Amino acid sequence: MMVNVMSGTSMACKLAEMTLTPKTGWFGRRAGAVFLSILALTVLAGATDLEIQRSTIKWKNVGPWEIGVDQQLNYGCFLFAAYEDGTDLKFGFSSNMSHAYIMITDRDWLSLKEGESYSLVFQFDRKPRWSGDAAGVRVRNTVALVLAVPTLAEDFFVDFALSKRLHITHKGKSVASLNLKGSYAATDELLNCQKNMQVMKSERSQYSADPFSQ
């Protein structure tokens, strides 16, 4: 127990360093709709495979997790894991840092509809549940479930980092049960990546693309 408390405190401190506001315990019912509007400001939803490959910068692999940078989301960092049953999990930061997001896809979820809202419940191990509305968003040739996570929800990041398994349900039915092995190290590197991107963007903003402009 002592190790978990210290690890959680350390993770929360790193989140605080990224100018996140104090923690809260819930997503809010309109979280999916909020992130859907964020996606509407990007070309992510309609991007081709080649465009997505070109816009993604590989940062580092940590165990089974791949950490990358999405240039289409204003250099937002993400972590990604592909599971043998066909489920893919992507967890990253949006373009303006007001929200993180979770994107879940599965080759068997053929009934998902673009633009529809789906209530989801997340439970890490046996910890308290999180709930929110995910939006059906078309990404390449499939419809993904995308849920916004306010970056002020520090406990969600801590739960993700310290848990062994994530259970997701929709209206009482199991959606996925995902192994989170190595998630602490992956989340730590995700925050490190985003901190570096913020520094890079800050440095770039000090220089004009046109040095002769007034």
Q: Is residue 74 over pLDDT 90?
A: no
Task: Look up tokens 């490959």; give the residue.
Answer: 53
Reported confidence tier of residue 31, pLDDT bands at 50, 70, 90? very low
The predicted-structure confidence for 168-185, as pLDDT tens digits, reads as follows: 999 999 999 999 999 999
Reported confidence tier of residue 96, pLDDT bands at 50, 70, 90? low
The pLDDT, as a whole number, for residue 10 is 63
Instruction: Return the axis-axis angle of helices 2-17 and 183-205, rounded to nearest 10°.
Output: 10
Residue with more model confidence, 10 or 185: 185
Domain range list for the chain: 2-201
Choose among 145, 14, 34: nearest CA to 98. 34
Reported confidence tier of residue 25, pLDDT bands at 50, 70, 90? very low
The predicted-structure confidence for 191-213, as pLDDT tens digits, reads as follows: 999 889 888 877 766 665 665 55
The predicted-structure confidence for 105-134, as pLDDT tens digits, reads as follows: 998 999 999 989 999 999 999 998 988 888
Q: Is residue 36 over pLDDT 50?
A: no
Beta strands across the sheet bearing 76-82: 56-62, 65-70, 76-82, 87-93, 99-106, 142-150, 130-139, 117-124, 165-170, 173-179
What's the CA dihedral at 153, 156, 158, 159 to 10 degrees?
A: 160
The pLDDT, as a whole number, for residue 20 is 35
Q: What is the pTM of this model?
A: 0.76
Supply the mean pLDDT for the chain. Answer: 77
Reported confidence tier of residue 41, pLDDT bands at 50, 70, 90? very low
Q: Is residue 97 over pLDDT 70?
A: no
The pLDDT, as a whole number, for residue 43 is 38
Q: Which CATH class is domain 2-201?
A: mainly beta
Q: Is residue 1 over pLDDT 50?
A: no
DSSP one-letter code for 18: T
Residue with more model confidence, 105 or 140: 105
Residue with more model confidence, 80 or 21: 80
The pLDDT, as a whole number, for residue 34 is 44
